[in-house]
Amino acid sequence: MTRHPRILVSGYYGFGNAGDEAILAGLVQGVRGLAPDAELTVLSGNPEATAAEHDVAAVPRGFRSAFAHMSESDLLISGGGGLLQDATSWRSPLYYLGIIQLALTAGVPVACIGHSIGPLRRPWARSLTRYTLSKVALLSVRDGLSQAALRALGVTREVYTAADPAFILSPPSQADTAAAWERAQLATDPRPSLTLALRRPPGTPSDAIASALAEAIGPPCQQLGLRPLLIPMQFPADVEFAHTVAARLPLPAEIVRPRLTAREVLALIGGCDLVVAMRLHALIFGAICRRPLVAISYDPKVVGLMGELGLPIATSTDHLDPQELSRSIVNAWQDRERSSAALAARVNPLAEAARQTIALALALLHNRTPEVRNA
């Protein structure tokens, strides 16, 4: 008989970031939908939390642990998100490319799924990325900007442009949404709700950007009768920034305090009426739930996502215009029915593209999984 295929998954998992956990949730749902007998093991910063949230085996993410489990694996999935960038830390590309190199050395095929590429400011990071990604079995990015970044790096091999694996996640049911709102400890309120998923942009003082955001968000909330809800996607950083923004708003705002799983955040956003976000996966969740979106770009990946959705960026943190952002919120609310229909036409193809990429990755198993014969 043939033993079950074993897949090792590498990414920024187990660190309380709902966006990265959404990527993992999408990967798990996609793999299990196509290969239900596959055994998934995830390299995690918190193996117990990862195992509990995603119902997978999880092990420490250090190189020694990764090496020990690599020899038992038939495929490494590296994915996805903004792993290959050195804006937050030079250690990020070094670690993730190092894990890929471990797999290549062990003869394990590597599928890179749903990556964003860059920014890569250091020459060694660009060279190492070009060299390593040129040797993987499957290379897939989640937007056209990332494909262009690879071409600029000198990567000449075939690159698939698909979609973020989080698009595979199923829209929440009404029961899911009700449970998430109860878990978030939110009071009943008849006003339509405005989801705010904000973060402090790297290298930017909190006070200045928080004041500009509050100046932009407050007036349309008052004009349209919207209930502002601040949803942290990354703990504790987003919680601190949410308090900074809330203190400057001209009306009371609620902050979701419990740390929710990725699926709970998705369900919570499913119960909201409008999404204003800097966080990429809050925008993806809003798209899955067909909610009107207002995007504030702090990183090229946000621009890339909105391009895939066929929607404009309201403003960017480099030149945040409060008046323009206010107008975008009002326009999105007034145009919400048309926006919802337009998102429905965009999201399904993106979800299918993400599934197809996982199918390509699983096809690599046919050349790897050995037969185990009965004695």
One domain, residues 262 and 114: no
Share the mean pLDDT of the chain. Answer: 93
Is residue 256 domain-resident? yes
Which of 78, 63, 124 minimizes the C-alpha distance to 357? Answer: 78
Predicted confidence band of residue 372 (pLDDT cuts 50, 70, 90) = very low
Phi and psi at 160, nearest 5°, equal -90, 135
Instruction: Tell me whether residue 311 is exposed, middle or buried, using C-beta atoms within 10 angstroms of its C-beta: 0 to 12, 13 to 18, 19 or more.
Output: buried
Domain co-membership, 137 together with 208:
no
Q: What is the model's pLDDT at position 2?
A: 65
pLDDT of residue 120: 94
Query: Which has the closest alpha carbon to 184: 232, 221, 226?
Result: 232
Mean pLDDT within 79-85: 91
Mean pLDDT in residue range 50-59 = 98
| Token couple for 142 | 């989640």
**Are residue 244 and residue 187 in the same domain, yes or no?**
yes
Domain with 183 in it: 174-289+293-334
Residue 340 within a domain: no
Q: Are residues 278 and 355 in the same domain?
A: no
| 374 within some domain | no
Q: Which amino acid type is present at position 58? A: A
| Assigned domain for 16 exists | yes
Give the SS3 label for residue 29. Answer: helix
**pLDDT, tens digit (0-9, with 9 covering 90-100), for 123-134:** 999 999 999 999
State the average pLDDT over residues 202-225: 92
Number of residues assigned to the chain: 375
Q: What is the token pair recorded at 187?
A: 């009071």
* Cβ–Cβ under 8 Å, residues 13 and 20: yes
Residue 50 lies in a domain: yes
Helical H segments across 107-143, by residue range:
123-133
Query: What CATH number is attached to the domain comprising 281?
Result: 3.40.50.2000
Residues 204 and 274 in one domain: yes
Which pLDDT score is estimated for 230?
A: 97
Say yes or no: 236 and 112 in one domain.
no
289 vs 301: CA distance, rounded Å: 20
Six-digit token pair at 150? 């690879």
- Say which amino acid occupies 179: A
240-263 residue pLDDT tens: 999 999 999 999 999 999 999 999
Is 90 exceeded by the pLDDT of residue 20? yes
Residue 88 placed within a domain: yes
- Would you state the pLDDT for residue 79? 87
Asked whether residue 133 falls in the same domain as residue 191, the answer is no
Q: Do 141 and 37 have their domain in common?
A: yes
What is the per-residue pLDDT for 369?
A: 44
Mean per-residue pLDDT for 190-207? Answer: 90
CA distance 31 to 183: 28
Q: Which two tokens stand for residue 69?
A: 């489990």
Q: Are residues 49 and 186 in the same domain?
A: no
45, 61 contact by CB (below 8 A): yes
Residue showing tokens 């187990």: 14
Hey, what amino acid is at 61? R
Segment 314-321 shows an average pLDDT of: 92
pLDDT category at 202 given cuts 50, 70, 90 is: confident
Q: Does residue 345 belong to any structural domain of this protein?
A: no
Kindly indicate the confidence band of residue 374, based on its pLDDT and cuts at 50, 70 and 90: very low
Residues 147 and 209 grouped into a single domain: no
Q: Are residues 269 and 304 in the same domain?
A: yes
Domain count, the chain: 2
Instruction: Specify if 341 maps to a domain.
Output: no
Clarify whether residues 69 and 208 are in a common domain.
no
pTM exceeds 0.85, yes or no:
yes
